[in-house]
């Protein structure tokens, strides 16, 4: 059932990044939101940002100082480029 979708959308899978502490989580999410202010944003579960050809969600762990990134794009090249772009913001 999923095979046709996996040929159309390219997924990063869960990528966890440990932060310095729980107090770093809100500032990091704010920095990401400010960078992607031109995308459609939702904060129901962390931060989700949507564009026409790619989207992502970054959400904090409830128990550890880490952020979990999931990103999808319409091409593998775009997925890799945008994944690295968002990860650079998380890890800054």
In tens, the pLDDT along 14-40 reads 999 999 888 899 999 999 999 999 999
Integer-rounded Cα Rg, in Å, for the chain is 13
pTM of the predicted structure, to 2 decimals:
0.88
CA distance 40 to 62: 25
Res 2: pLDDT? 53
Alpha helices in 1-92 (DSSP H): 3-8, 24-35, 76-91
Q: Tens of pLDDT along 36-88?
A: 999 999 999 999 999 999 999 999 998 888 999 999 999 999 999 999 999 99
**Which pLDDT score, from 0 to 100, does residue 63 have?**
86
Half-sphere exposure of 40 (CA within 13 A, CB side): 6
- Rounded Cα distance between 79 and 72, Å, is 6
């Amino acid at each position: 059932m999923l095979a046709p979708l996996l040929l159309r959308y390219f997924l990063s899978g869960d990528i966890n990044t440990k932060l310095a502490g729980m107090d770093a989580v809100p500032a990091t999410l704010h920095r990401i939101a400010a960078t992607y202010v031109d995308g459609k944003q939702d904060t129901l579960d962390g931060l989700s940002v949507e564009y026409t050809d790619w989207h992502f969600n970054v959400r904090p762990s409830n128990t550890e100082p880490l952020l979990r990134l999931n990103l999808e794009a319409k091409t593998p090249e775009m997925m890799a480029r945008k994944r690295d772009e968002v990860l650079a913001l998380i890890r800054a």
